[in-house]
Amino acid sequence: MSKHQAFSFGLIPPVGKLQAYGFVSSKREMPSLNSEITDDNVTLGPQATKQELINGTAGDVYTPTLIQDSNLVSRKLLIIVTPTYARPFQAYYLNRLAHTLKQVPPPLLWIVVEMMSQSAETADILMRTGVMYRHLMCNKNLTDIKDRGVHLRNTALSHIETHRLDGTVYFADDDNIYSVDLFEQIRLIRRFGTWTVAKLMESKSKTLLEGPVCNGSQVIGWHTNEMTKRFRRFHTEMSGFAFNSTILWDPKRWHRPTLEPIRQLDTVKEGFQVSTFIERLVEDESQMEGLPEGCSTIMVWHLHLESSHSFYPREWLMKNNLDVIAQLA
């Protein structure tokens, strides 16, 4: 593991009897549940029993397995990457997203990344969600950062590549709203999938749509309202695409021309990061799948809800009584 990363495991058993998933460790064996973890950069999340490990998932590589049931189901692992940082609505955003992810059938791994340290507030939220997670930290020097989100996502990409996680990667920012149907659509992706995202302007005066125009599942063009970005190669949002994780760590399978790691760049012009990143995943639209059929359904919404004031009580706990403004009659 890189010395610049630290992460926590959240081990959650599956709900019900319809799904089970196993794991194969490509790097090292998981520590015994009864032993201490000696790596200072790794902490184990919520305790899990040995039976939960059998029924659930732990380790470096997750692979879906079939169970003995009349309705055999094999589902692809969803790897949901969420960069986050301390701000007034952070707890609200993370809890809202967690409630959505809880509705998605397993296997699902939520990778949440913070800058410089794993905050106690975020760790507490993750432990209470009931969603399997990994809590990562990015130690990038803040003075060198142009776009914080780029480096947080790159920390997750490095983790996925190092541990060869096999599934579908999706960048789910915490402040978006997601339909549960989106995650079922993502599971259908073979290489790269894309869809339309609705964005409410900061002025709250209008909504913009951005994403692919499709003939069935074939991408035949792009729709965008932002003319200042019309020279981008691909017109979609960070939350408007997902891709097969093996593209990151199995270049021969996808005939990639270079072995250079695929990462996002914060050196490109603002608004062009997404397109530049996608250009490293696919050659053109022929390697894309438009979702859902016809790309006619909105499944992601980006709203501007941030407060103009940054003050809020730490951990949203009131240690002192509020001032009395209205006296009792």
Provide the annotated binding site for Mn(2+): 175
d(CA 171, CA 150): 11
Among the listed residues 78, 210, 203, the one whose alpha carbon sits nearest the alpha carbon of residue 131:
78
d(CA 79, CA 64): 13
The answer to whether residues 279 and 172 touch, using CB atoms and an 8 Å cutoff, is: no
Q: Which residues pair with 264 in a beta bridge?
A: none
d(CA 139, CA 3): 9
Alpha-helical (H) ranges within the chain are: 50-55, 90-102, 120-129, 148-162, 180-186, 246-249, 273-278
Interstrand relation of 197-200 and 300-302 (parallel, antiparallel or unpaired)? parallel
The answer to whether residues 83 and 113 touch, using CB atoms and an 8 Å cutoff, is: yes
The answer to whether residues 71 and 18 touch, using CB atoms and an 8 Å cutoff, is: yes
Q: How far is CA 53 from CA 29, 57, 164, 288, in A?
A: 13, 6, 20, 36
d(CA 57, CA 121): 25
Q: Which position has the token pair 């691909």?
A: 234
Q: In terms of residues, how long is the chain? A: 329
d(CA 244, CA 263): 14
d(CA 41, CA 314): 25
d(CA 141, CA 39): 23
The answer to whether residues 197 and 182 touch, using CB atoms and an 8 Å cutoff, is: no
Helix (H) or strand (E) holding 44: strand 42-44
Binding residues: 175
